[in-house]
Amino acid sequence: MYAINAGHRVFYTTTGTQGPWVVMSHSLCCDHTMWEPQMEMLARNYRVLAYDTRGHGASDPWTTPYTLDDLAAEAIAVLDHAGIDRAHFVGLSMGGMIGQTLGFTAPNRIASLTLANTSSRFAPEMQPVWNARIAAVRRDGMEAVVNPTIERWFTAPFVAERPALIARISQQIRRTSIAGYSGCARAISTLNLTERLGAISCPVLAISGRQDPSTTLAMHEDIVRAIAGAELAVLDPAAHLSNFEQAQAFNDALAGFLARVAR
């Protein structure tokens, strides 16, 4: 199914037939299929929607610049099209940044937030790193970031143990549009939300991978300190895509949190 956001198509899919809505937002360079380890489990008790952020998966890319606020507005357009008044929002990495933004820009639409492998702020010295990644992709295509991304996303033992999955995720990175990568990377590169997180009043779970080099445990601790009552789950060993590397532990933490807040 497609929602329309300012003339652009945003792809989403749903599963489950009963219970509250859970909306899932993926990482940069992924698409809605990133959530396959979680969707079957969630569909037993919830209605689940997963969508492709602009320029990823089957969603249209944008050629004009946009911001993290625009990505949050895109998520609301998906909720509106699907007829969802209020949902539990689960976001990983970029999806978690979108979730934080929704927490204080659209609080009436968000029942709870699960913020996995994400951050509320990037240090200024990260800006040249993002600029270099964007320049490499524009010059050499998505192949330029495949190997470095895999190295950040998974621990070395997991890469060695799961070659078929790593090959599949590598293809997902390659399939991301250059416009989608560049635009979304630019939108999140100036991330600076920490001072605004105190306005979030819904229940929050932060999930961190202890070996995550991109969005560290310390970044999740900053989020938890900034939001009253927020919880923290640490998965070990796990790097950036902890929902794959520690799928069962991730599912247990997520299911337990949702069961508590749903009550």
Q: What is the pLDDT of residues 88-126, one digit of tens each?
A: 999 999 999 999 999 999 999 999 999 999 999 999 999
Indicate the DSSP class of residue 194. G
N-terminal to C-terminal alpha carbon distance within the chain? 30
Whether residue 113 contacts residue 200, with contact meaning beta carbons closer than 8 Å, is answered with yes
CB atoms near residue 239 (< 10 Å): 26
Domains detected in the chain: 2-262 (3.40.50.1820)
For residue 173, give every residue at least 6 positions away whose Cβ sits within 8 Å of its Cβ, in sequence order, or none: 29, 30, 142, 145, 146, 149, 150
Q: Pairing relation of β-strands 204-209 and 110-116?
A: parallel
Does the pTM surpass 0.75? The reply is yes
CB atoms near residue 156 (< 10 Å): 11
Q: Which two tokens stand for residue 67?
A: 């911001």
In the structure, what pLDDT confidence band is assigned to residue 195 with cuts at 50, 70 and 90? very high
Helix (H) or strand (E) holding 217: helix 217-226
What confidence tens digit (pLDDT) does each residue in 203-231 have? Answer: 999 999 999 999 999 999 999 999 999 99
Distance CA(90)–CA(260), nearest Å, equals 15
pLDDT of res. 127? 96
Q: Which two tokens stand for residue 156?
A: 């070395």
What confidence tens digit (pLDDT) does each residue in 51-90 have? Answer: 999 999 999 999 999 999 999 999 999 999 999 999 999 9
Distance CA(187)–CA(183), nearest Å, equals 6
Whether residue 60 contacts residue 8, with contact meaning beta carbons closer than 8 Å, is answered with yes
